Amino acid sequence: MKVQKIKKNLTSEMVIEEILKNLKSGDLQPGDKLPTEREMGRMFGVGRSSIREAVKGLVLLGYLEASQGKGTFVKADFAFKNLSPVELQSVMAAEDIFELMELRKILECNAVELAAKRADNDDKDRINKALEQMKACREDFRRFYKPDFDFHIAIATATHNKMISDMMRIVVEKAHEQYEKFMPDKLCPPGEAIHTAEQIAAGLIKGEGQKAVKHMKEHLKLVEIELKRVLSNHSDSYSKNAA
- At the topology level of CATH, where does 85-242 sit? Four Helix Bundle (Hemerythrin (Met), subunit A) (1.20.120)
Total Cβ atoms within 10 A of residue 53: 21
Do 12-74 and 85-242 show the same overall fold?
A: no
155-179 pLDDT per residue, tens: 999 999 999 999 999 998 888 777 7
User: Which segments of 206-242 does DSSP mark as H helices, in order?
Assistant: 209-242
Query: How do the domains of the chain map onto residue ranges?
Result: 12-74, 85-242
Name the residue among 189, 184, 149 with its Cα closest to residue 170. 149
The pTM assigned to this predicted structure is 0.63
77-122 pLDDT per residue, tens: 776 555 555 555 555 556 677 788 889 999 999 999 999 999 999 9
Terminal Cα distance for the chain, rounded: 25
Q: State how far the Cα of 168 lies from the Cα of 163, in Å rounded to an integer.
A: 8
Supply φ then ψ for residue 118, to 5 degrees.
Answer: -110, -10
Compute the mean pLDDT over every residue in the chain, rounded to the nearest whole number. Answer: 82
Q: State how far the Cα of 139 lies from the Cα of 137, in Å rounded to an integer.
A: 6
Q: What CATH architecture is 12-74?
A: Orthogonal Bundle (1.10)
